[in-house]
Amino acid sequence: MANLVIDNVKKRYGTTEVLKGINIAIEAGEFLILVGPSGCGKSTLMNSIAGLEDVSEGRILIADNDVTYTSPKDRDIAMVFQSYALYPNMTVAQNISFGLEMRKVPKEERDVEVQRVAELLQINHLLNRKPAQLSGGQRQRVAMGRALARRPQLYLFDEPLSNLDAKLRVEMRTEIKKLHQKLGTTIVYVTHDQIEAMTLADRIAVMKDGEVQQLGTPQEIYDNPANLFVAGFMGSPAMNFIPAKVVSQDGNPMLELATNSTVALPFPKPEALVNHIGQTVLLGLRPEMITEPQPHKVGQDFVTTTDIKVEVTEPMGADTMIITRVNDAEINCRSNPAYPAAPGSVIEMMFDTSKAVVFDQATGHRLDK
Amino acid sequence: MSKASIGRQTTWVEKALRVALYTVLIIMATVYLMPFLVMLLTSLKDVEEIRTGTLLSLPSTLDLSAWSKAWGEACTGNNCGGISPYFLNSFQIVIPAVLISTLLGAINGYVISLWKFRGSDLFFAALLVGCFIPFQVILLPMARTLGWLGIANTTTGLVFVHVVYGVAFTTLFFRNFYQAIPGELVKAARLDGAGFFTIFYRIILPLSTPIIVVTVIWQFTQIWNDFLFGVAFSGFDTQPVTVALNNLVNTSFGGKEYNVDMAAAIIAALPTLAVYVLAGKYFVRGLTAGAVKG
């Protein structure tokens, strides 16, 4: 177990810069997730940490040792790949012990270690099989077993679940989280799946175009996104972005919404909007903040009820998503399935702006930071 | 075949097409096998019978004397020991040449596919040009080179020529095969602590059986059947069997012994035939495996 420091790492291929100065530091035992759309540089960063790619500038420290120019095998890290990369000609047991063998661990110790890992991951019955005889989930376990056997300082996971079907993916997700809690290892995990990021991470680094957009705990990133990109990327269904005009009511800046009728919504940080009166800003409101009127909340500060026209409903079992138009933007609302909402009807909904955020329409910057 | 067509009566058109197809195939096979049949029949007749009978008439007795003469007594030039010493010469050239060129091709392909370096694609393209250089073009420069290396007219020299000429092909085979191997396999092994040759030996080579078979068959056939390099670069004692066969056929005292010529030709062709019969199915399998995935 070790801490990891990524200090101003840059990576260039010719003239194109794919990593533009990455700064991330995590403590020993932390679970860091690198998330972002494809091409954001997260896999390049992962390969740089592993030493499979050289960095053009900056430093990488593992356990306070500068490993920027250390070869991969001497960094004491293990990696789980998207394709699992199991050695096809070796049995499961040989796959798990290969790294130990390369490090000249005696045969008896290797066998003990293989047993330990196999029990941990419940793959004892598979030890004599070849990878081709395993299912996707089993291969995934073996790939993790191979990483665990060496007890490295740092684990790297490169989209390990994206080749699994949806159900298995959720199971393995929980499995990985349990494993992390049990072993307390330092993990860097790359994914493009924001739900995986939310559920697994101690801290998330949201990346785009070779830059870290925001580094924070899942809740920080969810509640307090640094910019429009982070706000839109994290959360499912995505945050609603409503272009809203800032109007002054009794000296207080409010956000004007045209639903079925026109209302003005209060904003928790009015000082952020004072300089924008008369302009249009982007109001960010998560779907669960637009619900059917809830008696215990109605009447509180920042809670406004108004009529909306239902366009489409999407029942999801636990909730029903109601899609409507506000200020000409399509928005998702999360309501109780028992709340009557027939398509085409006009119903009363409750807008809770206590956690609302606002962005500059042109630049996407947060205005209320 | 779709489910609907199973159990359906085949129409007479389909039957006729099938018959036509088999007819064409049988004709083609016959045309292709006819020369071999003539060779075999001729090699079993004596000279008198060849002169009086037709090409396809069966031998009256099973006479193997032409075979033993071709093997041990026939004259090639003024050396009358049959083609057996040259047969052994060929093996002495083919075995090391095949092994070395296959191994080099495997390592080249491994580097070009899985350890890409700056310019590796260009390197591969340049190597590919080697596949398109006709034999004749390199005869003179190669003769100079062999002389300069001091291995002109030796078995070593011929092995060297075949290795150099073959590496372009073997590299191409292995490179295309290794393209289908995910790079993550090498990355995983590097993180596990394995080095360049350990990865090659422990992980990549065990996966390479099909392409090794393809390459060995290809190289064996090419080198065994080579005549031009053999005639140009071999010494008197190091001639391969193809050159000896030519000399045997061109050497005559009085009448032409077609039966001996045919027997010698079949003997010279047997090893490649044997290799193909033993490993042919891997050949086809290996070629298509590379083609589909690469």
Over the stretch B32-50, which tens digit does the pLDDT of each residue have? 999 999 999 999 888 888 8
Q: Is A302 left (phi over 0), alpha (psi -120 to 50) or beta?
A: left
Indicate if B212 and B278 belong to the same structural domain: yes
Q: Examine residue B79 and state whether it is found in any structural domain, yes or no.
A: no
* Tokens matching residue A112: 């003990």
Q: Examine residue B141 and state whether it is found in any structural domain, yes or no.
A: yes
Indicate if B169 and B123 belong to the same structural domain: yes
* Percent of chain B clearing pLDDT 90 (strictly above): 54
In tens digits, what is the pLDDT along chain A, a chain of 369 residues?
Answer: 789 999 999 999 988 999 999 999 999 999 999 999 988 999 999 999 999 999 999 999 999 999 999 999 899 999 999 888 999 999 999 999 999 999 999 999 999 999 999 998 999 999 999 999 999 889 999 999 999 998 899 999 999 998 888 888 999 899 999 999 988 899 999 998 889 999 999 999 999 999 999 999 999 999 999 999 999 999 888 999 999 999 998 888 999 998 878 899 999 999 989 889 999 999 999 999 999 999 998 888 899 999 999 999 999 999 999 999 999 899 999 999 999 999 999 999 999 999 999 999 999 999 988
Main-chain dihedrals φ then ψ at residue A169, nearest 5 degrees: -60, -45
pLDDT means per 10 residues, chain B with 294 residues, are 55 92 96 92 86 81 86 81 91 96 96 91 90 89 93 93 94 92 91 93 91 91 93 89 90 79 92 86 63 36
Indicate if B63 and B98 belong to the same structural domain: no
Contact, B139 vs B157, CB < 8 A?
no
Closest of B83, B32, B79 to residue B268, by C-alpha: B83
Residue B95 maps to which CATH number?
1.10.3720.10
How does strand A57-62 pair with strand A240-249? unpaired
Q: Which amino acid is at A312?
A: V
Chain B hits for A73, Cβ within 8 Å: 190-195
Q: Which residues contact B63 (CB under 8 A, 6 or more apart)?
A: B44, B45, B46, B259
Q: Is B184 on the interface with A (CB under 8 A)?
A: yes
- Asked if this assembly's ipTM is beyond 0.85, the reply is no
Main-chain dihedrals φ then ψ at residue B189, nearest 5 degrees: -65, -35
Contact, A359 vs A320, CB < 8 A?
no
Measure in Å the smallest separation between the Cα of B238 and chain A Cα atoms: 42
A82·B184 Cβ contact <8 A: yes
Q: Which residues contact A102 (CB under 8 A, 6 or more apart)?
A: A73, B192, B193, B194, B198
Q: Which residues contact A324 (CB under 8 A, 6 or more apart)?
A: A259, A308, A309, A310, A311, A330, A331, A333, A349
Chain A hits for B187, Cβ within 8 Å: 50, 52, 72, 79, 81, 85
Query: How many domains does the structure of chain B reveal?
Result: 2
Number of C-alpha atoms within 13 angstroms, CB side, residue A13? 6
Indicate if B245 and B126 belong to the same structural domain: yes
Indicate if B239 and B112 belong to the same structural domain: yes
Which residues form the domain of B196?
84-293
* pTM of the complete model: 0.81
Q: What is chain B's mean pLDDT, rounded?
A: 87
pLDDT score of B292: 39
Q: Examine residue B77 and state whether it is found in any structural domain, yes or no.
A: no
Q: Examine residue B29 and state whether it is found in any structural domain, yes or no.
A: yes
B187·A52 Cβ contact <8 A: yes
Contact, B258 vs B74, CB < 8 A?
no
Domains of chain A: 4-233 (3.40.50.300), 240-359 (2.40.50.140)
Indicate if B131 and B20 belong to the same structural domain: no
Chain A hits for B207, Cβ within 8 Å: 88-89
Q: Examine residue B198 and state whether it is found in any structural domain, yes or no.
A: yes
Q: Examine residue B38 and state whether it is found in any structural domain, yes or no.
A: yes
